[in-house]
Structure 1
Amino acid sequence: MTLLSFVVPAYQVQGYLRECLDSILDQPFGDVEVIGVDDCSPDGCGQIIAEYAARDPRVRAVRLAENAGLGPARNAGLDRATGEYVWFLDGDDWLAPDCLPAVARRLADTAPDVLLVDHVRVHWTGRAGRSALVDVLAADGPPEVFRATERPAVLRLLHTAWNKIIRRGFLLDSGLRFAPGWYEDVSFSYPALVAAERISVLDRVCVNYRQRRSGAITRTVDARHFEVFDQWHRVFDLVGDRNSTLRPVLFERMIWHYLTVLGNGRRLPPGLRPAFFAQLHADYRRWRPPGGYPVPGGIEGLKHRLVAADRWRTFSALRVAGRTGQVVTRTARRAADRTLPPLRRSAGRGRDALLYGYYRAQLRRPVDPTLAVYAAYWYRGYACNPAAIHAKARELAPDIRGVWIVRRDRVAELPPGVEYVVAGTPAYYRVLARARWLVNNVNFPDHVVKRPGSVHVQTHHGTPVKVMGLDQQRYPLGAPGMDFAALLRRVDRWDFSITANAFSTQMWDRAYPADYVRLEVGYPRNDRLVTAGPDEVAAVRARLGIAPGDRVVLYAPTHREYLPGYRPPFDPDGLLAALGPAGRLLVRGHYFDHRPGDPGGSGAGRVTDVTGYGCVEDLYLAADVLVTDYSSAMFDYAVLDRPVVVYAPDWPVYRLARGVYLDVTAEPPGAVARDFAELLAVFRSGAERAEGAVSARRRFRERFCALDDGRAAERVVRRVLLASPPSGTRG
């Protein structure tokens, strides 16, 4: 029999589900099964579970015919579990590394009905805090095994199901199951603890409890929060008059929970608060133990007394006074710590102050309903997805005026006929203030105001291998000096996020949690790679000075933020020798690492530095093979269905220091080389074109390039520019 059955329900957690499943399957303990329950989720959860089940026999996929809610989804997993113990882990949480061997030892040593494990509450800001398990059970230390009647303080621990590992036989014998509705943990956890003959504790953090920025019911204003009453009624119905010594503790927990729901301004609609308080008072009178209960002290105790006396108005006034005091404190703190935007800090510098004032004045003018502003790579020029969208908009929406923002030193590189403004000029501030659409593959500067009536389109500029956004908080070496709060303020301006594939959509959900429309339509910049014919390829190669018979390798390594100036071990002459006399090498460094000049080697003109070449799509079309490490270039180049070689000489270090979403050495688009000698061997043997590499590329293309059909830009233009939502909405 398997020791641990993990039941993982999933509903709209596509950005987090992979991390959850990986945290189980990558443990140094294999006696597990994972039952992933797709609760008819409208996002990619079902696809992710099916993907894991196809490659790991320990995973079983279950899909419910209709959305049933967390409780019934867990029951569906429980019905299919075969393990001795069941662990209900939510799809947006994840296990701490290497915790399962300790769990297995504790289960073997104590044979409990319920094993309680510790957790860390991980906030989306990066802040983390440990639970109260140690404090609650402190005294002279937790005994090996106990009952709730012997340690009633155990009932004061968090009432969730995921911090409890429960013997499956005990659940079957007791008939305990999850009820439908919100707060389903309550009517499962408390009866389980009361009924358990043997409870044990593992004083070790095992679960990372994710506090999401949006999407959780605890951050959702809805009348369904009244369902907390039904769950607590079930608790007292199930417990009955048994274990009367525990009833006062259960009652105190119930009132604490009700007050928590009522006191949270992000749960109940204001108009329903009096009714909620009335039901709270009714339950207080109905369930209050005859002998009383331990009333808390201080403000909390006052709240209990107001509930007992049915004093809603006094309770409400107390709450308002408390919130007002908090607001005053926060306002004073912000005033003390405030730093003005960069332009305002330089108000004494004349020109900057005048420009900022001009921008503020332009914000008071109407939004121009025909103006679209485009930018790419911090105003480096006409490029990437915004350029493809702009070109298609000129064709499909000629009445929309498209204006590009560029740096002064890049003006000469703009294609003929492209209207532009130079960054930092009055014209720049005018179009930023008045544009209906603002399209960028990075974020606009912090001083840009999101106006009602404007539509911000974030196109991104690659499928992510390395972690991005909020996920970089765990990898500080890869995000030196990043202000994550400012990042989220920029993300909150987005109306649309363009993604190339389901994987990107899932990762952006996690990295950039906010309320925007996900447009999973393919990358507009890749349309050209699909539609370019042999004549265009030949013309591009001719412009680059490549002869018809040359075999061109494009080498495009990515940037290492944690190693400024890093260059991978790479010998151009050695690679050219392996390619033979027809070999030609194009070297394109990341734009953050651009050093003009010869990339090294003595290949007599057969090596060209193309780092500063403006249009990377030209280079893709010209190349016969791509060599890269962890760059998103592999996803774009795979559209061409040409050989890709992953050259990953520092993979273990990069993965640890920078953090990754995808193991490109395990799921590559072709052959893999771990050092330069292996890279030479790939080309000498023809492994980049062998059947194994072709099969890997086919799987990679099916997963990441399915939407790249040459019409991505058209889909964006029709959805965003020709049918974007009315002013002030997000679609």
Structure 2
Amino acid sequence: MPRFTVIIPCYKVQGFLRECLDSVLGQCHRDIEVIAVDDCSPDGSGAILDEYAARDDRVRVLHLAENAGLGRARNAGLPHATGDYLLFLDSDDTLTPGALRALADRLTETGDPDVLVFDYARTYWWGGTRRNVLAHVLTEAGDGTFTAAEHPEILDLLMVVWNKVYRRGFVEAGGFTFPPGYYEDTPWTFPVLLSAERIAVLDRICLNYRQRRQGNILSTTSRKHFDVHQQYERVFAFLDQRPELASWRPFLHAKMGEHCLDILAKPDRLPPSDKAEFFHRTAELFRAHKPEGARVPAELRVLEQGYAVYQARRQTGRATRELGRRARRVRTAAAGKLGRVRSAARAYRPLDPDLAVYSAFSHRGVLGDPAAIYHAARRIAPGLRGVWVLKDEEQVPLLPADVEHVLLGSAAYRRVTERATYFVNNVNWPGAVRKRPGSVHIHTHQGTPLKYMGADLLDKPGARYGVDVPQMLRRADRWVYSLVANLHSERVWERAYPCHFTSARTGSPRNDALVRARPGDGAAFRLRHGIPAEHTVVLYAPTRRDYRRGGHVDRFDPARLAADLGAGHTLVVRLHPSLATGPARGFGLAELHRRGVLVDATGEPHVEEVMLAADVLITDYSALMFDYANLDRPIVVHADDWAAYAASRGAYFDITAEAPGPVTRSYPELARLLASGNWRDEESGRRRAAFRERFCQFDDGRAAERVVRTLMLGEPMPDPASAPGGRAVAAGHDLLTSS
């Protein structure tokens, strides 16, 4: 008996069907059977199914004599199912890699619940990906099992059949089947979830929900939407048969009203001639099933007041919104004019010589090089007032209580940026920030560059997609100093940003903590994540890919790596910061972290802490390797797609030829290397020493102090080449060099 039966109804999907089947049959969890139902499809879908069945005995094909529709095609597959659990997959959607393994593990962990709800992502025809906006419902449901009454929020999720797996015994005992029609998921999902005694959730994206360019049948303008009324009649009929569920009637009554009004409100759903009829049928259904004494929510009372009232409210709402838009345009224009007048007046006010404004990573908090400079300034020059720019209120609770801040775009933000003498940032300031004579803009960058940056992107159209390079350079024209940690960076920045700045050979301020690292400095991170002190911590830090929309590509299964590392090891994964808030972590990483398979450090604000806790770094082309090299700990470069990466993004040198340690080209090769221990042999040490000599030249542990003393206070200070422990590159070189 297989663990899963995957039922796939097929109708006119020959362009998508192979991708769907491959996503199922290619899963690492192979204990499955696939029942594919050819719903008398007029295209080549049936032949494709037969082809797959001929070469994989896990596939069984049913050819229906006539078109039955999606629900009844699923019903046709149900009697043939032998798996413990049922998964209904639409034939233009796909499972994500490792989805079935994650589902199987979660089912075992929760003791085989009746229903397991998982997450999904919408994948658009133009290449975009967007995670389910209600994913937090899964996170908040907890680790155990529950009923719908205990967590009614589960009913707020999209009422579809394909974001769940169902225990076959539970489905058979309940007699659940799909009705005919276009909203067939409604009278399946509500009865199933209300009847389930044990529901569990998996906070992982297991399915890609394809958004076709022309949409599905329910996103088109037609009378097919009238089917929703009959489907809710079936839901209420189910309640009539189950008196113990009578308490759900008010909830479902409101849900029905909300659902129907939502269909009516969308201009592309119903022909104008049918809107009044749809409203009247909805109102009739609403009256017929209204529970005695039930309070009608304010937004649904229009169903009791009539279509004329509904139309009037819609028209009033549109008029109000238009007036609001006009008022906002007037206010914005007036504010802009007033702001220009005030800015012109303030331009004549002297700069405040003791005011420094800081920002990092597009105003995300006290982070990176700017944070290191800020802390050094507070220690060395307490008379300097440091103010941080934050993007929004969400970052405020993360700040220490004594850190002064302003919100981007606020009046306070305008005041400090108009009068500050010092500007410190690792990202370009917004265009509205003027460079006043006498102000000092210090640009720290975000590490040593391997991939193309700035003007060099002009020859890489894929990598510069959405990037306005000329505007980027205009903003870089404000730089006075560009900080560098090595001569390589100095040469690259002067080429990539052909502007009038001075390169400052200060070292990277954020790396001071790495250069000065002492035994035990990573203990706080280990303790916070429950990592045993004796474990070898393996940090895996991949970068984003420009040849893939969204930037995320799974190079290998991190769960497999964690297992292959074996006892006594902890795998820590840190994705590129640009992927921290997107769907990338939902494709398994967050779930593996929850289960203790690995540690997801993507959300850790201070990457220096993560590096200090690691014993070895595995990366591909991330700039993190240049910083980590300061620790003089082993580095492995996993370069299985180097040719594609270099061609799409561009690289300043071949990292596979000048790597700081061993280079692997496939996962089996990586696993063998880690098992052999050769990642820390004498040859690895030799490569790392050469790499450090070249790319950690100016990192001597005093970079932040050097920035404050030499660039802000104008004091003399030894340059890195002559400082204790400094790595000289040439006799007599100067700290400052003009571009």
Q: Structure 2 vs 1, CA of residues 675 and 363 (structure 1 numbering), >3 Å: closer, same or farther?
A: farther
Query: Which amino acid in the other structure matches residue 359 of structure 2?
Result: A
| Alignment correspondent of 1:340 | none
Query: Which amino acid in the other structure matches residue 526 of structure 1?
Result: N
| Alignment correspondent of 1:119 | none
Q: Structure 2 vs 1, CA of residues 674 and 352 (structure 1 numbering), >3 Å: closer, same or farther?
A: farther
Query: Which amino acid in the other structure matches residue 518 of structure 2?
Result: G
Task: Provide the secondary structure at the position in 2 that maps to 1:477.
Answer: coil
Q: Structure 2 vs 1, CA of residues 356 and 633 (structure 1 numbering), >3 Å: closer, same or farther?
A: farther
Task: Provide the secondary structure at the position in 1 that maps to 2:521.
Answer: helix
CA contact (8 A) 1:355 1:429 kept: no
How many Å separate the matches in 1 of 2:384 and 2:554?
Answer: 45
For residue 345 of structure 1, report the CA deviation from its aligned partner: 9.2
For residue 656 of structure 1, report the CA deviation from its aligned partner: 0.7
1:599 counterpart (589, 599, 608):
589
| Alignment correspondent of 2:619 | 628
For residues 166-565 of structure 1, the aligned pairs below 5 Å read 348=332, 358-407=342-391, 408-565=393-550
Deviations along 1:681-717, whole A, 9 cap, x unmatched? 1111112112221111111011111321111111111
How many Å separate the matches in 1 of 2:678 and 2:330?
Answer: 58
| Alignment correspondent of 1:578 | 564
| Alignment correspondent of 1:568 | 554
Name the stretch that deviates more: 594-603 or 399-408.
Answer: 594-603
Aligned identity (percent) is: 48
Q: Structure 2 vs 1, CA of residues 602 and 411 (structure 1 numbering), >3 Å: closer, same or farther?
A: closer
Task: Provide the secondary structure at the position in 1 that maps to 2:474.
Answer: helix
For residue 545 of structure 1, report the CA deviation from its aligned partner: 2.2
Deviations along 1:196-233, whole A, 9 cap, x unmatched? xxxxxxxxxxxxxxxxxxxxxxxxxxxxxxxxxxxxxx
Task: Provide the secondary structure at the position in 2 that maps to 1:534.
Answer: coil
Deviations along 1:288-311, whole A, 9 cap, x unmatched? xxxxxxxxxxxxxxxxxxxxxxxx
How many Å separate the matches in 2 of 1:462 and 1:624?
Answer: 21
CA contact (8 A) 2:529 2:599 kept: no
CA contact (8 A) 1:646 1:672 kept: yes
CA contact (8 A) 1:385 1:524 kept: yes
Q: Structure 2 vs 1, CA of residues 601 and 544 (structure 1 numbering), >3 Å: closer, same or farther?
A: closer
How many Å separate the matches in 2 of 1:544 and 1:487?
Answer: 39
TM-score, length-scaled by structure 2: 0.50
How many Å separate the matches in 1 of 2:429 and 2:709?
Answer: 23
Deviations along 1:605-640, whole A, 9 cap, x unmatched? 031221111000010011111111111100000100
2:672 aligned with 1:688: no
CA contact (8 A) 1:601 1:607 kept: no
| Structure 2, gaps ≥5 residues long | 1-327, 717-737
Task: Provide the secondary structure at the position in 2 that maps to 1:626.
Answer: strand
Runs of 4+ in structure 1 over 6 Å off: 344-347
Q: Structure 2 vs 1, CA of residues 355 and 682 (structure 1 numbering), >3 Å: closer, same or farther?
A: farther
2:609 aligned with 1:609: no
For residue 588 of structure 1, report the CA deviation from its aligned partner: 1.1
CA contact (8 A) 1:355 1:426 kept: no
CA contact (8 A) 2:426 2:446 kept: yes
Q: CA RMSD in A?
A: 2.4
How many Å separate the matches in 2 of 1:569 and 1:524?
Answer: 31
How many Å separate the matches in 1 of 2:362 and 2:419?
Answer: 20
How many Å separate the matches in 2 of 1:671 and 1:356?
Answer: 57
Q: Structure 2 vs 1, CA of residues 674 and 401 (structure 1 numbering), >3 Å: closer, same or farther?
A: same
For residue 535 of structure 1, report the CA deviation from its aligned partner: 3.5
Query: Which amino acid in the other structure matches residue 435 of structure 1?
Result: A
For residue 484 of structure 1, report the CA deviation from its aligned partner: 2.4
2:696 aligned with 1:705: yes
How many Å separate the matches in 2 of 1:623 and 1:353?
Answer: 53
How many Å separate the matches in 2 of 1:374 and 1:571?
Answer: 39
Deviations along 1:517-547, whole A, 9 cap, x unmatched? 1101210000011223224322332123221
2:705 aligned with 1:714: yes
1:637 counterpart (622, 628, 645):
628
Aligned residues: 385
TM-score, length-scaled by structure 1: 0.50
Task: Provide the secondary structure at the position in 2 that maps to 1:478.
Answer: coil
How many Å separate the matches in 2 of 1:592 and 1:572?
Answer: 19
How many Å separate the matches in 2 of 1:485 and 1:346?
Answer: 31
Query: Which amino acid in the other structure matches residue 555 of structure 1?
Result: Y
Task: Provide the secondary structure at the position in 1 that maps to 2:412.
Answer: helix
How many Å separate the matches in 1 of 2:543 and 2:488?
Answer: 20
Deviations along 1:558-610, whole A, 9 cap, x unmatched? 12233123323221222122211122111111121124555167584031221
Deviations along 1:293-345, whole A, 9 cap, x unmatched? xxxxxxxxxxxxxxxxxxxxxxxxxxxxxxxxxxxxxxxxxxxxxxxxxxx99
Q: Structure 2 vs 1, CA of residues 584 and 467 (structure 1 numbering), >3 Å: closer, same or farther?
A: same
Q: Structure 2 vs 1, CA of residues 346 and 358 (structure 1 numbering), >3 Å: closer, same or farther?
A: farther
| Alignment correspondent of 2:651 | 660
Task: Provide the secondary structure at the position in 1 that maps to 2:513.
Answer: helix
For residue 372 of structure 1, report the CA deviation from its aligned partner: 0.4
How many Å separate the matches in 1 of 2:396 and 2:509?
Answer: 23
